[in-house]
Structure 1
Amino acid sequence: AASAASGLPLVSVPTTYSGAEWTVFFGVRDPDRRLQGGGSGAHPTGIVYEPELTLELPRAETVGTALNALAHCAEALYVDGHNSEADVEALAGAQLIARWLPQVVERPREREARTELLLGACHAGAALGKSFLALGHAMAQALGGRYGLPHGAMNALALPPALRFNAEAAPAAVARFGAALESDDPAQRVEELARLGGFERLRDFGVPEEDLHELAGTVVERAGAKANPRRASAADVEKLLRSIW
Structure 2
Amino acid sequence: MSQSFVYQAQPARVIFGRGTSARLPDEADRLGLRRLLVLSTPQQTALATQVQQLLGERAAGAFAGATMHTPIEVTERALAVVKELGIDGVVSVGGGSTTGLGKAIALRTDLPQIVLPTTYAGSEMTPLLGETRDGVKTTQRSPKVLPEVVVYDVDLTLSLPLQMSALSAFNAIAHAVEALYAPDGNPIVSLMAEEGVRAIVDALPRMMREPGDATARADVLYGAWLCACCLGSVTMGLHHKLCHTLGGLFDLPHAQTHAIVLPHALAYNAPEIPVALTHLRRAFKTEDPVQALLQLERECGIPLALRDIGMPRDGVARAIEQAMANPYGNPRRIEAGALGQLLERAWAGEGV
TM-score normalized by the length of structure 2 = 0.63
Q: Tell me, which stretches of 5 or more residues in structure 1 are unaligned?
A: 30-34
Other-structure match for 2:306: 202
Higher relative contact order (CA 8 A, sep 6+): 1
Do 1:3 and 1:10's aligned partners in 2 also have CA atoms closer than 8 Å?
yes
Other-structure match for 1:211: 315
Equivalents in 1 of 2:175, 2:190: separation in Å?
A: 11
Shift, 1:152, TM fit: 1.3
Do 2:120 and 2:172's aligned partners in 1 also have CA atoms closer than 8 Å?
yes
The amino acid of 1:168's aligned partner reads: P
Residue 52 (structure 1) aligned to one of 133, 155, 165: 155
Do 1:21 and 1:47's aligned partners in 2 also have CA atoms closer than 8 Å?
yes
The amino acid of 2:337's aligned partner reads: A
The amino acid of 2:198's aligned partner reads: Q
1:39-71, CA deviations, whole angstroms, 9 ceiling, x for partnerless residues? 653142221110000011112321111111000
Do 1:144 and 1:154's aligned partners in 2 also have CA atoms closer than 8 Å?
yes
Q: Please, which moves more after superposition, 75-84 or 6-15?
A: 6-15
Do 1:11 and 1:46's aligned partners in 2 also have CA atoms closer than 8 Å?
yes
Mark the CA change 1:130 to 1:28 in structure 2 (over 3 Å): closer, same or farther: closer
Correspondence 1:55-134 to 2 at 5 A: 55-134=158-237
SS at match of 2:114: strand
Do 1:64 and 1:197's aligned partners in 2 also have CA atoms closer than 8 Å?
no
- 1:240 and 2:240 correspond: no
Q: Please, which moves more after superposition, 20-29 or 190-199?
A: 20-29
Q: Tell me, which stretches of 5 or more residues in structure 2 are unaligned?
A: 1-103, 348-352
Do 1:19 and 1:122's aligned partners in 2 also have CA atoms closer than 8 Å?
yes
- 1:14 and 2:117 correspond: yes
The amino acid of 1:117's aligned partner reads: V
| Structure of greater Rg | 2
Structure with more strand by fraction: 2
Equivalents in 2 of 1:2, 1:242: separation in Å?
A: 37
Do 1:219 and 1:237's aligned partners in 2 also have CA atoms closer than 8 Å?
no
Q: Give the RMSD, CA atoms, in angstroms.
A: 2.2
Mark the CA change 1:146 to 1:233 in structure 2 (over 3 Å): closer, same or farther: same
Equivalents in 2 of 1:235, 1:219: separation in Å?
A: 12
Other-structure match for 2:324: 220
Equivalents in 2 of 1:157, 1:18: separation in Å?
A: 15
TM-score normalized by the length of structure 1 = 0.89
Mark the CA change 1:242 to 1:106 in structure 2 (over 3 Å): closer, same or farther: same
Shift, 1:161, TM fit: 1.3
How many residue pairs are counted as aligned between the two chains? 239
Q: Please, which moves more after superposition, 205-214 or 52-61?
A: 205-214
Do 2:179 and 2:189's aligned partners in 1 also have CA atoms closer than 8 Å?
yes
1:175-201, CA deviations, whole angstroms, 9 ceiling, x for partnerless residues? 321221112111112212222142211
Equivalents in 1 of 2:211, 2:182: separation in Å?
A: 33
Shift, 1:144, TM fit: 1.6
Equivalents in 1 of 2:139, 2:301: separation in Å?
A: 27
